[in-house]
A and B are shown apart, each in its own frame.
Chain A
Amino acid sequence: MELADIGKTFRRLDYETKVTGKAQYLADMIVPGMGHGKILRSPYPHARIKKIDAAKAARVAGVMAVITRDDILHDAGIEPYYGPVFKDQTIVAVEKVRHVGDPVAAVAALSIDAAEEALRLIEVEYEELPAVLDVHQALKPGATLVHESIKLPTSGFADLAEIKPVEGTNLCTHFKLNRGNIERGFAESDRIFEDTFTLPATQHSFLETHACIASVEPGGRITVWATTQNPFVVRTQLANIFKVPVAKVRVIVPYLGGGYGGKVYPKVEPIAVALAQKAGRPVRLVLSREEVFYTITKHAAVIRMKTGVKNDGTLVARECEIHLDTGAYAEIGPRVAKKSGYTAAGPYRIPNLKIDSYSVYTNKPPAGAFRGFGVSQSAWAVESQMDIIAAALNMDPLAIRLKNGYVNGDKFVTEETLHSVGLKECLDEVSKSIGWGDRDAEKKASKGDSVRRGKGLACMIKATITPSVSCAVVKMNEDASLSIYAGTVEMGQGSETTLAQIAGKELGIPLQTIQVLGVDTDVVPYDLTTSSSRSTFHMGKAVQLAAQDIVRQLKQIVAKEYGVPEDKISFADGKIRLPETVLDYSEVMFKRFGMQGGTLVGDGQLKTSVKDEFGEKSTSAFWFLAAGAAEVEVDVETGKIRLVKYASAVDVGKAISPLGCRQQLAGAAITGIGQAMFEEIAYDNGQLINPNLVDYVLPSLGDMPAVIDPIAIEIPDRNGPFGAKGIGESGLIPVAPAIANAVFDAVGVRIKDLPIKAEKIYLALEAVRGKV
């Protein structure tokens, strides 16, 4: 058997069960005695519920439980309000419905048919209210309020403690960042550029919809099988809602069929538990595709960006207003606003800043985390405007980025020092990959037909959630095989294999002797979340420390049992070397326990803080840097774009699995292509008109560029396991602006509103031709 290693691709531990169709996802699971849940949803974007009567529904044969506001408001055992930042969500609607698809009632029955029949018999009388459907309308004085008042959480995230909604308005969050002197900055600038960029709401569209099986035992013990990226957050929220200690809530997470940020924080779990509690039996709730669109979306945004520069391209000042449409519930919108604000300067030194980032309530489905978390929004503006500036100053877009881009030791906008900054390396590599230097020569050589070729660049900086905590336990069994207890959810990113490689490398044992346990909050220690591209760094480090704890214990045992001083004991290739002899771990285990039995338990914890080990401010435990480069062909007759090549370079710190890194980068590029070129949730008066995968188009093999070049740059992080950082999100963020910049390079028109569709390019070209 091959020893585990770092920087080497192993067959992933989750692959065999997946390629054989044996892997159990939530909708494949059956709990004995379970009923089936269904949700009645609001047909209106905004309405008062005057009356709700579920008596007829409850009488349908096979119905086990019906939940309406009456059940959650008059039960001393239920706190009806919840939410990760503000308690503005309820299990089912109480006074009002706030978006189309807002849950109004729910039914559990012996069959899906019975549940659906019961839903039809629930009588709801609505009084329609005016709806606020865009951010600017929502912020007008006297606008209809989505929430008349908001209950704040009693406990929350450390990084959001200072964030409060503004009572009496639809302003959910206002994040401010000021630096230097903005007026002086503009006064000192030679040129000032002002542009507005927009991007629409989109949907994660994981192929596995949200689902949950809930069971409540007499006595109140709650078990949920959940499609969640953060089981411990769901545990806390369920404990708060159902008023039990967290130890009484058990969250089990099978493999997820994709997450991409859309499965963080409670989604269907509170309704499923309420149904199971009332039914006295387990209940399974699997959302339809349409319901997923009502459950979570990505923030649409309007970004006004005003930037002052010197004639030599030096960025001097930026004023930026970001309006994020957070929909009807705050969800994690306040943090999205914060992250958008932090990155509105991009990966560039800009001494004078005035950034205002708002998340705004509207009567639309809630927006939350989406791979890229606020930075996809800000970077669309930052990187598009960078090329507008470069063109106006007649500068090379690569040169203006390198001139202003962060290098190691620079101060971030928060005034903290940046470490391990591979921005230049990322830009250099993607430029090389698409032949950046050849583009003018290629243009001259291009034939005179209607197809024009262009190239575009973009780059980004992103933070990871800080402070945060990951704990891990590693058990060495009597045969020296290893069990890893980690709360990281395997949702496709390959975390099981990465964690096994890290532990295996520390102990020098084969990957095949390592088992990563499934996620079960009764079993694995605390982990904040599988999101924010944090698991390799945080959980990887916790697992590394836990494995090192085993090494330390083995050393102590050998010193004691064999009478050898600890400094004479060394470890290599899964063996313990003493001056006179070589021992296997299993021999040492036998010596320690006196039989073929016993367990060594290694403990590992990683806690990141808003101050680093030197006492300096640390908004992010580490920083993500990435760049992308697109080569496109645009037909000037039709506006049609063909993506020829996309290169993506991400500073990964250390590529623990080279293939795993390439998969993440290439996968993020594909997702980015969808976001850049066609994905968009379309609304008509608050109604979603494309909540399905026929009308909401996802990228398929046919949309893939001929070549995707994923490039892992390795600038080791001082704290990451073996120098590794996270990579899940970085590769997605530059895609849209890189393509927009390539389109501009090809045909000279600037698209400022995503997605970059052929008709927009065509109309812009027609305008240039003076035809519209």
Chain B
Amino acid sequence: MSGAGASAKVMKKTISLRVNGVQRSLEVEPRTMLLDMVREQLGLTGAKLGCDMQVCGACTLLLDGKPVSACSVLAVDADGAAVQTIEGLGDKYGLHPLQEAFMEFGALQCGYCTSGFVLTAKALLDECPKPSDEQIRDYLAGNFCRCGCYQEIMQAIKAVSGKA
């Protein structure tokens, strides 16, 4: 949100980053959060604000392949990085296997946490293609699903890792 009310002129900074594989150049304020940037300047609203404190995982994005809480990362700190959002998963031939598995196993109800879970799970499987149950539990402990789909989420991730 640009500061129309504040009288002081805020210096904007131009950053460049790859978002879902596309090179972008954006003007942001030094205080702009990565989450606000992708939601408001790029219209990519799949990532949600949940807790605003870096614990719920609803705002998760992948920064150079690693999950981050975009509510608590400054956009300027993403300068030069590659950002992956849920909108960039899958391709013209279809959805990402994790997206398919989440649907097949019923790993979502309200869907508000789903983008964060899918992206975190993707990062896990990229790092560790066949994680143990314990590894899945640990890696996804920073994502809350208040509808309580944890068992189905485990099943979905395990089904995909089995295929990997």
A-side residues, CB < 8 A to B, are 9, 11-12, 14-16, 18-25, 27-28, 36, 60-63, 109-118, 204-208, 255-260, 288-289, 491-494, 659-660, 662-663, 666-671, 692-694, 698-702, 704, 708
Contacts and interface: CB of A to CB of B under 8 A. Distances in A.
Contacts of B118: 19
Contact of A698 (B4, B52, B144): B144
A207 B112 contact: yes
18 contacts: A12-B103, A15-B102, A15-B108, A21-B44, A25-B112, A27-B49, A36-B1, A61-B5, A116-B5, A117-B6, A207-B56, A255-B111, A256-B110, A258-B146, A666-B151, A700-B141, A701-B154, A704-B150
A689 B53 CA distance: 16
Interface in B104-122: 104, 106, 108-115, 118
Contacts of A113: 1, 3-6
B111 A698 contact: no
B111 A660 contact: no
A646 to B, nearest CB: 10
Q: Can you list the 10 inter-chain pairs with the closest CB atoms, starting with the nearest?
A: A21-B46, A114-B5, A670-B148, A492-B110, A257-B112, A18-B111, A667-B148, A492-B109, A21-B86, A693-B51
B150 A701 contact: yes
Contacts of B99: 19-20
B97 to A, nearest CB: 11
B90 A20 contact: yes
A21 B85 contact: yes
B52 A288 contact: yes
B87 A20 contact: yes
A12 B104 CA distance: 9
Given A16-B103, A113-B4, A694-B53, A667 B109 contact: yes
B78 interface: no
Contacts of A698: 56, 144, 146
Contacts of A671: 146, 148
A111 B7 contact: no
Given A21-B87, A25-B48, 8 more contacts: A20-B89, A20-B99, A28-B45, A207-B112, A208-B50, A660-B106, A668-B148, A701-B150
B55 A257 contact: no
A702 B143 CA distance: 10
A670 B150 contact: yes
B86 to A, nearest CB: 3
B79 interface: no
B4 A61 contact: yes
B143 A701 contact: yes
Interface of B: 1-7, 39, 44-53, 55-56, 58, 85-87, 89-90, 95, 99, 102-104, 106, 108-115, 118, 136-138, 140-154
Contacts of B58: 207
A114 B7 CA distance: 10
A111 B3 contact: yes
A458 B112 CA distance: 31
Contacts of B95: 16, 19-20
A692 B20 CA distance: 32
A115 B53 CA distance: 22
A258 B110 contact: yes
A693 B113 CA distance: 14
B111 A23 contact: yes
A669 B149 CA distance: 10
A739 B50 CA distance: 29
Interface centre among B51, B136, B146, by most A CB within 10 Å? Answer: B146
A27 B45 CA distance: 9
Given A693-B55, A699-B148, A702-B137, A118 B103 contact: no
Contacts of A61: 4-5, 7
Contacts of B49: 27
A528 B102 CA distance: 32
Contacts of A60: 5
Contacts of A22: 46, 87
Nearest to A286: B49
Contacts of B51: 207, 289, 692-694
Contacts of A117: 5-6
A704 B149 CA distance: 10
Interface centre among A28, A111, A700, by most B CB within 10 Å? Answer: A700
A257 B48 contact: yes
Contact of A700 (B39, B53, B104, B142): B142
Nearest to B136: A701
A56 to B, nearest CB: 13
A110 B1 CA distance: 9
Contacts of A63: 5
Contact of A111 (B2, B48, B90, B152): B2
Interface centre among A19, A20, A257, A493, by most B CB within 10 Å? Answer: A19
Nearest to A709: B151
Contacts of B114: 18-19, 21
A590 B45 CA distance: 43
Contacts of B56: 207, 693, 698
A231 B137 CA distance: 38
A228 to B, nearest CB: 14
Contacts of B152: 663, 666
A118 B3 CA distance: 13
Nearest to B59: A207
A62 B4 contact: yes
Contacts of A110: 4-5
Contact of A208 (B48, B55, B154): B48
A701 B150 CA distance: 6
A648 to B, nearest CB: 11
A258 B103 contact: no
Interface centre among A18, A112, A114, by most B CB within 10 Å? Answer: A18
Interface centre among B2, B46, B112, by most A CB within 10 Å? Answer: B112
Nearest to A63: B5
A210 B115 CA distance: 20
B103 A27 contact: no
A206 B111 CA distance: 11
Contact of A667 (B39, B111, B149): B149
A21 B47 contact: yes
Contacts of A257: 48, 110-112
Contacts of B142: 700
Contacts of B46: 20-22
A20 B86 contact: yes
B138 to A, nearest CB: 7
Contact of A19 (B1, B4, B55, B102): B102
A204 B95 CA distance: 32
Contacts of A112: 1
A494 B50 contact: no
B111 A14 contact: yes
Contacts of A663: 106, 109, 147, 149, 152
A23 B115 CA distance: 11
Contact of A693 (B47, B50, B148): B50
Contacts of A670: 145, 148, 150
A493 B152 CA distance: 15
A645 to B, nearest CB: 12
Interface centre among B108, B113, B114, B151, by most A CB within 10 Å? Answer: B151
Contacts of B53: 289, 692-694
Contacts of A19: 86, 95, 99, 102-103, 108, 111, 114, 118
Contacts of B39: 28
